[in-house]
Structure 1
Amino acid sequence: MGKIFSILVFVGVPLSIIGTLLNWSSVIMFVVYCVTIIALASFMGRSTESLAIVAGPRIGGLLNATFGNAVELIISIFALQEGLIEVVLASLTGSVLGNLLLVAGLSFFIGGVKFKRQKFNVFDARHNSGLLMFAVIVAFVIPEVFATTMDESTTISLSVGVSIILIALYLAALFFKLVTHRGVYQHNGEMEQEHEEPEWSKGKAILILALATAAVAYVSENLVHTFEEVGETFGWSELFIGVIIVAIVGNAAEHASAVIMAYKNKMDVAVEIAVGSTLQVAMFVAPILVIISLFLGTHMPLVFTVPELVAMVSSVLLMVVISNDGESNWFEGLTLLAAYFIMAIGFYLL
């Protein structure tokens, strides 16, 4: 898999530059940009994993939290600069749906086909369930309810206040898991992962991470410019592009990692990728984008559409019910996948 991504990077980055300079078709470049970003994201993930092993679990956890959704954050910032607030909010929705339903569903299904019954840390599952309920059902629904009686400036003020609280609680959650309660709820199978060898040295990992991040920023800026023409060509709405396309591209590398881990029966890691990434999006990426938008021309409120909210709340409730017993099987995975495709059809037809 690593060799394939390496080839895609060495082919995709030059093609992205050449195609941009020569003004190739937006549809062709959309495909090139998406494939290139997915390949670059895999390099970012591998370098972050190497740094996490070298630096230790505490700093490693912080690194993974920071760079886990870096690609989507970069794409969203450039989309905000273009005034595409609907695409940004839709991509945040898509990340929540994609992680909880598509990624977790594929992980449970593929792992469940090989192993009839898979277990993961039930204490982590219940801890994450509470945070998911808070982040999506409380922090996302409340601004929507209150915004109906507020003007635009007051809604922005409410969104900023909610965002600051979300970031503070997210940092507190990291402190809880990595410092005060590190190892308290450790699963028996987690000990065997402590003596890993990093793929790259510290210096090499930092260099690759810096270069990959810079390349993603360049390609993402150009990707955003193709949205309008691609939407008109295929009849896709901004909502569908954000919820399905941008969300899948921005999280593709870690999606693949979760499925591979499930296939290896490392369900603690697979579930942490799926649920942990969702928490990063809801409690860190979304509020950070709200604050960043204050310094750009377009201010983004933390107010989603009713279909987006219903879809996110439904996916959270379904994931909480399925994962709270600390076990999974292929049928539970199929149930999550079915929910994702039902919602994808709905967003396509909107």
Structure 2
Amino acid sequence: MVNRLFTLMVMIGVPLSVVGSILHWSSTLMFIIYCLTIIALAGFMGRATESLAIVAGPRIGGLLNATFGNAVELIISIFALKAGLVGVVLASLTGSVIGNLLLVAGLSFFIGGLKFKRQEFNVYDARHNSGLLMFSVIVAFVIPEVFSMEMNEAKTLSLSVGISIILIVLYLAALFFRLVTHRGVYQQKSDVVEEHEEPEWSKGKAITILLLSTAAVAYVSENLVHTFEVVGEQFGWSELFIGVIIVAIVGNAAEHASAIIMAYKNKMNIAVEIAVGSTLQVAMFVAPVLVLLSLFFDQKMPLVFTLPELISMATAVLLTISITNDGDTNWFEGATLLAAYVIMGIGFYLL
């Protein structure tokens, strides 16, 4: 029933998105159409990811979902950088970090916990991710802010470029560690897929649907960005709030839906891999790539966030680590993460 509804929404939403953008329909109307279309496309990406996870395992499935989901945000951010909207790009990166760790993981733990009293996931992966989260967010993001106080713009940019290169190299090394040299070394029983479980789609079909869905989401998301200014004025949303909350939620809608679906089916390894893995990819790959790409634009983007953004990201990391390090979760822990996200959302709205 839900799959049929998503199919209908895609068949209607994608053409309406194209026609509406050409005919310049009302920004508020198009905002609603774009959001609903992205949600429907996210449903397709979730089904494709689940099929790939059954074939290739939860790590590959979660990684693919995070990658395709973040590709949308990367595309949006490149257009924003080209337009000189550095503040919006940095705010959207902040929103991705706190959104994945608090909103996505929180909803996954909460909804999954309502159906299952206790849900387990790979504790070794959780601890491995904890170290990377501490490094990528607290170390790599805080250091440029601290050192920039004693540097001019040129030196701050040079520091940001150097840190970006290190982050990318370490991220690639982390993938090599988990998928090649230590694949299966820290495997738990819950990682093993039951033999009778059959994927909905074949590997080729699932990858094709992921590619097509990502392309469609990228197109719709790019048009959605142009409605933010008008909608923001109507609802009283500031540029910072739009970047941290709205752009982040919409840009990551695909993995949001996928993680929640996986948690509801008690596939917590995939759900956690999507939420935390997407955060690591944003912090260690997407953000550094944007810093390096900004060198080719008129407006450069140093890896320097505002104090509220830094504190929010650091708090989200520490809270997530404290909740996930034991390898199991429940609905109350999900509610705790959601409460933290709402508090930060109120703060960014009032700034």
Q: So what's the TM-score if we normalise by structure 1? A: 0.92
Q: Residues 24-81 of structure 1, C-alpha deviation per residue, up to 9 Å, x if partnerless?
A: 1222212222222333344344445545666778876764453241222222222222
Partners of 1:57 and 1:178 within 8 A in 2: no
Change (3 A) 1:39 1:133: same
In the other structure, the counterpart of 1:158 is 159
Cα offset, 1:285, TM superposition: 1.2
- State how far apart, in whole Å, the 2-side matches of 1:181 and 1:61 are: 17
DSSP-derived class of the 1:132 partner: helix
Q: Residues 107-151 of structure 1, C-alpha deviation per residue, up to 9 Å, x if partnerless?
A: 222222333222221111111000000010001101111112222
Q: Amino acid of the residue matched to residue 255 of structure 2?
A: E
Cα offset, 1:227, TM superposition: 2.1
- State how far apart, in whole Å, the 1-side matches of 2:288 and 2:194 are: 33
- State how far apart, in whole Å, the 2-side matches of 1:141 and 1:56 are: 34
Change (3 A) 1:125 1:306: same
Q: Amino acid of the residue matched to residue 238 of structure 1?
A: E
Cα offset, 1:3, TM superposition: 2.2
In the other structure, the counterpart of 1:208 is 209
Partners of 1:62 and 1:174 within 8 A in 2: no
In the other structure, the counterpart of 1:274 is 275
Moved more, 248-257 or 160-169: 248-257
Cα offset, 1:247, TM superposition: 1.1
- State how far apart, in whole Å, the 2-side matches of 1:56 and 1:122 are: 16
What are the within-5 Å matches in structure 2 for residues 94-109 of structure 1? 94-109=95-110
Partners of 2:67 and 2:278 within 8 A in 1: no
In the other structure, the counterpart of 1:142 is 143
Partners of 1:91 and 1:246 within 8 A in 2: yes
Q: Amino acid of the residue matched to residue 319 of structure 1?
A: T
In the other structure, the counterpart of 2:328 is 327
Question: Aligned Cα RMSD in Å?
Answer: 2.3
Q: Amino acid of the residue matched to residue 281 of structure 1?
A: V
Change (3 A) 1:106 1:44: closer
Cα offset, 1:268, TM superposition: 1.9
- State how far apart, in whole Å, the 2-side matches of 1:61 and 1:209 are: 13
In the other structure, the counterpart of 1:264 is 265
Change (3 A) 1:253 1:85: same
Cα offset, 1:282, TM superposition: 0.8
Change (3 A) 1:252 1:68: closer
In the other structure, the counterpart of 1:26 is 27
In the other structure, the counterpart of 1:177 is 178
Partners of 1:159 and 1:301 within 8 A in 2: yes
Q: Amino acid of the residue matched to residue 267 of structure 2?
A: K
In the other structure, the counterpart of 1:117 is 118
- State how far apart, in whole Å, the 1-side matches of 2:226 and 2:295 are: 22
In the other structure, the counterpart of 1:337 is 338
Change (3 A) 1:104 1:206: closer
Change (3 A) 1:311 1:55: closer
Change (3 A) 1:18 1:306: same
Q: Amino acid of the residue matched to residue 90 of structure 1?
A: A
Cα offset, 1:256, TM superposition: 2.2
- State how far apart, in whole Å, the 1-side matches of 2:194 and 2:180 are: 19
Cα offset, 1:271, TM superposition: 1.6
- State how far apart, in whole Å, the 1-side matches of 2:61 and 2:263 are: 21
- State how far apart, in whole Å, the 2-side matches of 1:198 and 1:98 are: 29
DSSP-derived class of the 1:294 partner: helix
- State how far apart, in whole Å, the 1-side matches of 2:305 and 2:73 are: 18
- State how far apart, in whole Å, the 1-side matches of 2:52 and 2:331 are: 33
In the other structure, the counterpart of 2:349 is 348
Gaps in structure 1 of 5+ consecutive residues: none
Change (3 A) 1:61 1:332: closer
Change (3 A) 1:125 1:20: same
- State how far apart, in whole Å, the 2-side matches of 1:313 and 1:271 are: 19
Cα offset, 1:84, TM superposition: 1.7
Gaps in structure 2 of 5+ consecutive residues: none
Q: Residues 70-97 of structure 1, C-alpha deviation per residue, up to 9 Å, x if partnerless?
A: 2222222222222222221111111111
- State how far apart, in whole Å, the 1-side matches of 2:81 and 2:35 are: 18
Cα offset, 1:245, TM superposition: 1.0
Q: How many residues align?
A: 350
Moved more, 113-122 or 198-207: 198-207
DSSP-derived class of the 2:252 partner: helix
- State how far apart, in whole Å, the 2-side matches of 1:57 and 1:334 are: 25
Partners of 2:58 and 2:270 within 8 A in 1: no
- State how far apart, in whole Å, the 2-side matches of 1:219 and 1:75 are: 10
Q: So what's the TM-score if we normalise by structure 2? A: 0.91
Q: Amino acid of the residue matched to residue 77 of structure 1?
A: I
Moved more, 232-241 or 112-121: 112-121
Moved more, 260-269 or 229-238: 260-269
